[in-house]
Amino acid sequence: MTPSDLKPVRDHIASRIIGQASFIDSMLICLLSDGHLLVEGMPGLAKTTAVKALADALEGDFHRIQFTPDLLPSDLIGTDIYRHEKGEFEFRPGPLFHNILLADEVNRAPAKVQSALLESMAEHQITVGLKTYPLPKLFMVLATQNPVEQEGTYHLPEAQLDRFLMQAVVTYPTRDEELMILELDARQQKEPEIAPVERLSQADLFAMRRDVAGLYLDPKLHSYIVDLVQATRQPKLYDDDLGRWCRFGASPRASIAVARCARARAWLDGDDFVAPHHIQAVVPEILRHRLLLTFEAEAEGVTTDVFVNRLLTLVAIP
């Protein structure tokens, strides 16, 4: 398999949204790396549209859940239903048993609902009572969230954030892009029927994943990845400001994520091996949601992106 085999998926997504090339790349990287994606942005920036376009281009079941404050864990996982005719309980699967799951506005539900996602995202299985049920081999959660400063939102638990492979931030379009959005909307009003798309089969997707996993990553770059993640835990060794800004660094899950995503980035670029610039390209979206900054950093207007960008300039490239 080659990157050109994934081009129809990219083209279909690009036909539904204008711009946002980095966001599309993040979705494809997570897809190739068997990971989950958290998407943050203001309302109206086509986050949901992009995720639905990705699902349309893939072979598999798609389900959307609108997260609300009154949602219950059983609304995601499923529940045991008593069958009088059988005299026993029967498990009715919930939305988590679909291949592609869109968790829309995920941070509008409280922590007890968020916890229902933990086992499924980390282990591809669901435990209900004394029984454990496996999820489909292709299982991907794409969650959208509004900025946490908005009314009616909750902070996602750190344990759940760590289970998202990447966090993409969708920004406002440029003036030219917004003009193109108006033109696209006008065309869709005239022709509301969407042309059918040839779906990427799961067999082809799994073949792509094997190709990505087999891409060469030099042992020296393994050390570079570990140094970057270790630096988030001991930032004071690199810079006094970094030491003041970060309370908690990233877990070893971040190192694994960087290695996987760097391979996917290199494969999408058509390269046969991973280079340092592939690692640097994916690190911001992998560490963005895994770092906990100090109150001092927030008071100075320092974001995790500022922290990571500074870190990338200080950690030596092998």
Report the top-level CATH class of 214-314.
mainly alpha
- Name all contacts of 42-46 with Cβ < 8 Å and 24+ positions apart: 42/146, 42/147, 42/170, 42/172, 43/146, 45/170, 45/171, 45/172, 45/173, 46/16, 46/17, 46/18, 46/20, 46/170
DSSP β-ladder status, 166-169 and 37-40: parallel
Q: Any idea how long the chain is?
A: 318
The least confident of 53-57, 107-111, 243-247, 306-310 is 107-111
Q: Where are the chain's structural domains?
A: 3-190, 214-314
What's the pLDDT at 131? 86
Report the top-level CATH class of 3-190.
alpha beta
pLDDT tens for residues 170-214?
989 999 999 999 988 888 888 766 666 788 999 999 999 999 999
The least confident of 153-157, 170-174, 227-231, 284-288 is 153-157
pTM score, two decimals?
Answer: 0.91
What's the pLDDT at 193? 65
Q: Which of 272, 168, 291 is nearest to 215 (CA)?
A: 272
